[in-house]
Amino acid sequence: MDPLAELKQTFFQECEELLGALEQTLQALDEGSSDSEDVNAAFRAIHSIKGGAGAFGCTELVGFAHVFEAALDHLRSGRVAIEDAPFSLFLRCSDAVADLVSAARNGEPATERPDLLAELAQVGKGPQAEAPAPAPVAAPAPAAPPPVAPAPVSAAAGDAPPGIAALGGLIAMVEAKTGTAASADDGWDDEPAAAAPAPTKPGRDVSLRITPESDLFRRVIEPRVVLGSLPTDDIVSIRCDLSHVPPLETLDVSDCFLRFDVMLRTELSIEDLHGRFDFSLASEEFELSFVGEGEEAASEAPAATEAASAEAEVPSAVAADLSAILAKLGPASEPVAQPDIQPAAPVAAAPVAAPAEPPAARQALRAPANEAAGRQRQAVSVRVDLDRIDKLMNLVGEIVITQSMLVECVRSLPYDVYAKTAEGIATLSRQTRELQDHVMAVRAQPVKAVFQRMPRLVRELAQTLGKEVRLVLEGENTEVDKTIIEELADPLTHMIRNSMDHGLETPNERAEAGKVREGTIKLIAEHRAGRIVISVTDDGRGINRDRLLAKARSRGLVGADERLAPEEIDQLIFAAGLSTAEQVSDISGRGVGMDVVRRNVESLGGRISVDSEPGRGCKFTLALPLTLAVLEGMVIRCGDDRYVIPIASVIETQHLASTPIERLPFGQEVLRWRGEVTPLYRLGDVMGSTGQTHENIVIIAETERGNNVGIAVDEIVGQQQVVVKSLEANFGTVNGASAATILGDGLVALILDIDSMLRLAASGARPNVTDLKNTLSDLKLAG
Amino acid sequence: MKILAIDDTKTLLSLLSMTLRNAGHEVAEAENGEEGLTKFDAFKPDLVITDLNMPIMDGIEFTRACRSRPAGQNTPIIVLTTENGAEIKAEGRRAGASAWMVKPFEPNTLLGLVARYQN
């Protein structure tokens, strides 16, 4: 991968984390936190995303992030009080940023969100902003929802005024340019002098002040086109001076009030530059001058000084203000019924120019931000490719095996030598165990990574379903192996969807049932008995047992006269093809829901269960092993070969001799276990074990579908943790086995996959023993 | 882009529309300002390139007429002419022309100018 692409990849990884932090802090703020550090963290997150996006040319992302950042800046500066801020809007914006990031990551075209941009631009422009004087920093803006319906503008009827399109294009242009500059020096807020050109770039610094006549738009000349006449590479910075934009009530949208200050570093002569604007700008509409050493552009262009006060805010306010203009102009093209207002009457609206922030306040604000950055640096972390950790984990597994081999070898030594060696080996095994734990800890991640995605899911679903939902997360810091984390997202998504769609009632239904309108879903993670247990609890209507049972009967899953306990009925929710939703919705209810979840969970060696209380709610509990790298298994022997059956699959073991076996007409052996006819398979026959088999034991195991089977084996060797070695990675798929492991004596054993084994038995085929043997020795060699 | 090309010199008009068509634009032709206005209403171009000195209705008049109708207020108008005087340019600007290009045109320069109006 070329370095740039690699960097870009890193950037996107960073974005994920930043987005997580952003959402988390916004969520905290939404839930009533008034911690200014949360605001700062949210601001920093979006700022970093913007900076990176600029460096990688993700223009849409920069544009959106910039407006978002400007809105958050109002909070940071105290212009908008935290308790008055529209966090739900911010959360939706954070979702939009996530969409833009993933679009940029996948190289897909970005979806523009003018709606959100317009709303964002309203932040900090509450009624108070109507006062012509800048709002004092200390005084929080009064609680005011952003004006929903933008004020209509007394514009000429007909097509959209030319200004609108021009401004739209301009935003992109200015954003793109300044975005790049920002990544270079992290200086959206910095003075133009700070945005100095790279010292290597030859040429002279030229200051260009563009003061177009107000009829620029009527000539259908967009600022974008004007600025586009300049050699792009030579542009150091572009500032838009909004100080001449009149208040909205007197603003004619067909007029251009924008002025531009452009800094160039160019080898072109002044004449050349003049030529570039030959027609689009009359000679009196622009001013070009060299910037001498140490001289400020302002001294060369006196007109610029008068705009200085407004410029303090300009770079970060440009997009916001332009968006505000856009937002306000938008409806002008669509006739809006305004019975109260005469068409020609001036319309009261907030002035377009943003209140300038006193420079002192900016200075004061910058300091804590820097401090915070310093603090952040102290929490040192290293980003490591998961592959490397996997290799490390593998190696540790090897050491564990080698060490247990050593233990076996040492036993045959004479006593005096043995005593000393055994001591060393004991230390070694303690250390390897510790090493294993530490590597596991490195791989362990808080479930936060998955939990974080859920608030968005809930938000979006709540909107789609028209329900009011509060999501409570607990135990986000519970750690679990990376392999499990990856597998958690789907089941959890499904479970939450299920709860939201079927479990929770609509606000009105809830009110009728005497509940609070807002439903609650709790997502809780905890460690219990060496497993991670995650529960999804809702306070909805619970499982409708009558309907579920009726449906199960109609599908023949339950006999007509069969009586089931209420808890048994609840478990039917995991049966294939059952959905009690009256209407199949987009969200869930196609009957592929919970049974799929159950199958996936069980394939990971986990369990899922449900507790429901009609009218009160429903709780799904998911229990998963902490890792997929190590497995608790029962080691068994059949002939000369040994196998491992995952303990999670084993229900019971019993002596074969005490078990009556019958043979069905087509040859299938069955046994009666707890009154149920259970098929019996002889492992040696199914897997083609070598050597003579003498089956003594039958293991009752459970399949993924919840059926039971008996597996006849020679002997149970023991129960132990085994390191899982992928067969696919080392050899190829072996029917009947999910993976392999290396036992203490250094020999390979297959880890059985009950379902796959049954399919193998049904097909009548046998795994190729020769191949298998080769696999085993390969595995041993390859480790 | 849909471009309306107006020029009374047939060869130049063909050359102009060929250049534009080769670059992937859709072109309508007119030989004077009046025909230009008719074509403008029918073709609804995204951009107009017009000569200045033409019989019946010249480029300045055309531009003015174009700007006075609602549909023509947002359409960039490029004047392509041999004229290069400051006075006539100022008149063109007052009439509402967006850009000025002096004949003979270099295809790539013209296309570059056109591209700048393309969103």
A712 plus A733 within the same structural domain? yes
Question: Which band of pLDDT confidence, cut at 50, 70 and 90, is reported for residue A768?
Answer: low
Q: Is the peptide bond before A491 cis (omega within 30 degrees of 0)?
A: no
Bridge partner list, A535 = A524, A621
Q: How many CA atoms lie within 13 A of A513 on its CB side?
A: 20
Residues 6+ apart with CB under 8 A from A395: none
Look at residues A610, A624, A595 and name the one whose alpha carbon lies nearest to residue A499.
A610
Structure-token pair, residue A676: 């149920």
pLDDT of the residue at A530: 65
What is the tally of structural domains in chain A? 5
The answer to whether the CB of A190 falls within 8 A of the CB of A62 is no
Looking up residue A684, the CATH number of its domain turns out to be 2.40.50.180
Q: Does B73 sit within 8 Å of A162, measured CB to CB?
A: yes
Give contacts of B99 with chain A, Cβ < 8 Å: 221, 225, 279-280
DSSP labels, A727-764: HHHHT---TTEEEEEE-TTS-EEEEE-HHHHHHHHHHT
What is the mean pLDDT of the segment spanning A324-338? 46
Structure-token pair, residue A130: 């109507």
DSSP 8-state assignment for residue A503: I
Question: Which band of pLDDT confidence, cut at 50, 70 and 90, is reported for residue B77?
Answer: very high
**Does residue A221 sit at the B interface (CB-CB below 8 Å)?**
yes
| Interface list for chain B against chain A, based on CB atoms closer than 8 Å | 67, 70-71, 73-77, 79, 89-90, 92-93, 96-101, 116-117, 119
What does the pLDDT look like over A393-446, one tens digit per residue?
Answer: 778 877 877 777 787 778 788 887 888 888 888 888 788 878 877 887 887 888
Look at residues A284, A350, A352, A282 and name the one whose alpha carbon lies nearest to residue A314.
A352
- Which residue in the block uniquely carries the two structure tokens 């939009």? A96
Structure-token pair, residue A368: 């804590």
pLDDT more than 70, % of chain B: 99
Q: In this structure, is the dihedral angle defined by the CA atoms of residues A562, A565, A566 and A567, taken in order, positive or negative?
A: negative
A204 plus A269 within the same structural domain? yes
Give contacts of A222 with chain B, Cβ < 8 Å: 117
The answer to whether the CB of A523 falls within 8 A of the CB of A534 is yes
Strand A748-752 relative to strand A650-655, pairing: unpaired
DSSP labels, A564-587: --HHHHHHGGGSTT----SS--SS
A469 plus A368 within the same structural domain? no
Question: Which band of pLDDT confidence, cut at 50, 70 and 90, is reported for residue A146?
Answer: very low
Look at residues A100, A80, A81, A89 and name the one whose alpha carbon lies nearest to residue A19.
A100
The answer to whether the CB of A48 falls within 8 A of the CB of A18 is yes
pLDDT of the residue at A774: 59
Looking up residue A471, the CATH number of its domain turns out to be 3.30.565.10
pLDDT of the residue at A624: 82
Structure-token pair, residue B63: 């531009």
**pLDDT higher than threshold 50 for residue A214:** yes
The answer to whether the CB of A712 falls within 8 A of the CB of A695 is yes
**Does residue A596 sit at the B interface (CB-CB below 8 Å)?**
no
Residue of A nearest to B47 (CA): A220
A243 plus A262 within the same structural domain? yes
Compute the mean pLDDT over every residue in chain A, rounded to the nearest whole number.
72
Look at residues A297, A156, A328, A323 and name the one whose alpha carbon lies nearest to residue A242.
A323
What is the mean pLDDT of the segment spanning A352-357? 41
**pLDDT higher than threshold 70 for residue A169:** no
pLDDT of the residue at A356: 42
A86 within domain boundaries: yes
Q: Angle between the B59-68 and B33-43 helix axes, to the nearest 10 degrees? A: 30
Residue of B nearest to A160 (CA): B74
User: How many CB contacts within 8 angstroms connect chain A with chain B?
Assistant: 52
**pLDDT higher than threshold 50 for residue A137:** no
- Environment class of residue A254 by beta-carbon count within 10 Å: exposed (0-12), middle (13-18) or buried (19+)? middle
Nearest-angstrom CA–CA distance, A16 and A98: 8
Bridge partner list, A264 = A206, A235
A473 plus A391 within the same structural domain? no
A229 within domain boundaries: yes
Nearest-angstrom CA–CA distance, A227 and A236: 12
What is the mean pLDDT of the segment spanning B99-118? 82
B67 vs chain A: nearest CA distance in angstroms? 8
What does the pLDDT look like over A11-44, one tens digit per residue?
Answer: 787 788 888 888 888 888 887 777 778 888 888 8
A671 within domain boundaries: yes
A717 within domain boundaries: yes
pLDDT of the residue at B45: 92
In 10 A of CB A61, how many CB atoms?
A: 26
A197 plus A220 within the same structural domain? yes
Nearest-angstrom CA–CA distance, A540 and A614: 9
A330 within domain boundaries: no
Structure-token pair, residue A274: 């003049």
A406 plus A439 within the same structural domain? yes
Q: Does A228 sit within 8 Å of B98, measured CB to CB?
A: no
Give contacts of B91 with chain A, Cβ < 8 Å: none
pLDDT of the residue at A117: 84
pLDDT of the residue at A350: 39
A145 within domain boundaries: no
- Cα A474 to the center of its chain, rounded Å: 18
Structure-token pair, residue A559: 């006999």
Look at residues B2, B64, B53, B13 and name the one whose alpha carbon lies nearest to residue A218.
B64
Residues 6+ apart with CB under 8 A from A572: A548, A549, A552, A557, A558, A564, A578
Residues 6+ apart with CB under 8 A from B42: B28
**pLDDT higher than threshold 70 for residue A366:** no
DSSP labels, A132-196: SSPPPSSSPPP--PPPSSPPP--PPSSSPPHHHHHHHHHHHHHHHHHHHHHHHH--SSS-GGGSP
**pLDDT higher than threshold 90 for residue B4:** yes
Structural domain that includes position A456:
448-625
Of the listed ranges A204-213, A583-592, B57-66, the least confidently predicted one is A583-592
Give contacts of B96 with chain A, Cβ < 8 Å: 215, 218-220
Top pLDDT among A453 and A164 is at A453
Nearest-angstrom CA–CA distance, A263 and A178: 12
AA identity, residue B99:
A
pLDDT of the residue at B3: 93
Q: Using the 3D structure, point to which of A568, A592, A625 is the last residue of a domain.
A: A625
A409 plus A421 within the same structural domain? yes
Nearest-angstrom CA–CA distance, A657 and A649: 22
**pLDDT higher than threshold 80 for residue A535:** yes
pLDDT of the residue at A779: 52
pLDDT of the residue at A714: 93
The answer to whether the CB of A173 falls within 8 A of the CB of A228 is yes
Question: Which band of pLDDT confidence, cut at 50, 70 and 90, is reported for residue A724?
Answer: confident
**Does residue A279 sit at the B interface (CB-CB below 8 Å)?**
yes
User: Which of B75, B94, B98 is most worth mutating to test chain A (most A CB atoms within 10 A of its CB)?
Assistant: B98
Q: Does A220 sit within 8 Å of B96, measured CB to CB?
A: yes
Q: In this structure, is the dihedral angle defined by the CA atoms of residues A745, A748, A753 and A757, taken in order, positive or negative?
A: negative
Strand A708-713 relative to strand A697-702, pairing: antiparallel
What does the pLDDT look like over A316-328, one tens digit per residue?
Answer: 444 455 555 555 5
A292 plus A223 within the same structural domain? yes
Q: Does B116 sit within 8 Å of A229, measured CB to CB?
A: yes
AA identity, residue A322:
L
b/e for A20-51, b at 16 or more Cβ within 10 A? bbbbbbbbbbbeebeeeebbbbbbbbbbbbbb
User: Which of B3, B74, B81 is most worth mutating to test chain A (most A CB atoms within 10 A of its CB)?
Assistant: B74
Top pLDDT among A632 and A654 is at A654
A192 within domain boundaries: yes
**Does residue A218 sit at the B interface (CB-CB below 8 Å)?**
yes
Nearest-angstrom CA–CA distance, A777 and A640: 15
Nearest-angstrom CA–CA distance, A66 and A89: 15
What is the mean pLDDT of the segment spanning B77-83? 87
What does the pLDDT look like over A51-66, one tens digit per residue?
Answer: 777 767 777 888 888 8
pLDDT more than 70, % of chain A: 71
Q: Does A169 sit within 8 Å of B99, measured CB to CB?
A: no
Distances (CA, A) of A544 to A233, A519, A652: 67, 18, 33
Phi first, then psi: give them for residue A241, nearest 5 degrees: -100, 115
A158 within domain boundaries: no
Size of chain A, expressed as the number of residues it contains: 783
A609 plus A460 within the same structural domain? yes
Give contacts of B63 with chain A, Cβ < 8 Å: none
Look at residues A333, A308, A312, A318 and name the one whose alpha carbon lies nearest to residue A223.
A318
Give contacts of A216 with chain B, Cβ < 8 Å: none
**Does residue A109 sit at the B interface (CB-CB below 8 Å)?**
no
A405 plus A429 within the same structural domain? yes
The answer to whether the CB of A541 falls within 8 A of the CB of A516 is no
Nearest-angstrom CA–CA distance, A495 and A581: 14
A415 plus A516 within the same structural domain? no
Q: Cite the DSSP H helix spans in A31-123.
A: 36-55, 59-76, 87-105, 114-122
Question: Which band of pLDDT confidence, cut at 50, 70 and 90, is reported for residue A102?
Answer: confident
Question: Which band of pLDDT confidence, cut at 50, 70 and 90, is reported for residue A640?
Answer: confident
Give contacts of A162 with chain B, Cβ < 8 Å: 73-74
Give contacts of B69 with chain A, Cβ < 8 Å: none
**pLDDT higher than threshold 70 for residue A166:** no
Residue of A nearest to B90 (CA): A282
What is the mean pLDDT of the segment spanning A184-211? 56
Find out if CATH 3.40.50.2300 is the number for domain B2-114.
yes
The answer to whether the CB of B78 falls within 8 A of the CB of B97 is yes
Question: Which band of pLDDT confidence, cut at 50, 70 and 90, is reported for residue A354?
Answer: very low
Q: Does B75 sit within 8 Å of A220, measured CB to CB?
A: yes
- Environment class of residue A225 by beta-carbon count within 10 Å: exposed (0-12), middle (13-18) or buried (19+)? buried
B73 vs chain A: nearest CA distance in angstroms? 7
User: Which of A170, A219, A333 is most worth mutating to test chain B (most B CB atoms within 10 A of its CB)?
Assistant: A219
Residues 6+ apart with CB under 8 A from A364: none
What does the pLDDT look like over A259-299, one tens digit per residue?
Answer: 888 888 888 877 787 777 767 777 778 888 777 644 444 44
pLDDT of the residue at A298: 41
Looking up residue A78, the CATH number of its domain turns out to be 1.20.120.160
B97 vs chain A: nearest CA distance in angstroms? 5
